[in-house]
Amino acid sequence: MTTNLVFSFDESAKRYRASQDAREVAFIEADRIGTDSLLIKHTEAHEEGQGFAGALLRHVLEEARACGRKVIPICPYAAGFMRKHPEYHDVLRPGYPL
């Protein structure tokens, strides 16, 4: 269940984190490239099938949109998610194939 998730970014670890009840439930390894790009390298949920990875990825994509960043999803999970969710195609780096 994805209620009460808290999202954060750890600059030193280059990780977005989703926590529930003060426990990390998912993370995304990502590199911010300059001020305009975000390279999503790896997505992992500690418990599969709970929706944690998807909720965190939605948060990351919405943050990228708000900051004007374009996303390069080399992570297979992130690329597959973006293929299935055209509402996030506007944040995909132009010319990057899904």
pLDDT tens readout for residues 14-29? 999 999 999 999 999 9
DSSP H helical ranges for 1-98 = 52-67, 76-84
Q: Domain ranges for the chain, please list them.
A: 5-91
Tell which CATH classification among 1.20.120.140, 3.40.630.30, 3.40.710.10, 3.60.110.10 matches the domain 5-91: 3.40.630.30
User: pTM surpassing 0.75?
Assistant: yes
Which DSSP state fits 85?
-
pLDDT tens readout for residues 22-48? 999 999 999 999 989 999 999 999 988
Which residues are within 8 A (CB) of 96 and not within 5 positions of it... i.e. 6 or more apart?
72, 73
User: Residues, the chain, total?
Assistant: 98
Measured distance between the N- and C-terminal CA atoms of the chain, rounded to whole angstroms: 28
Quick one: which of 93, 29, 18 has its CA closest to 58? 18
Neighbours of 66 (CB within 10 A): 9
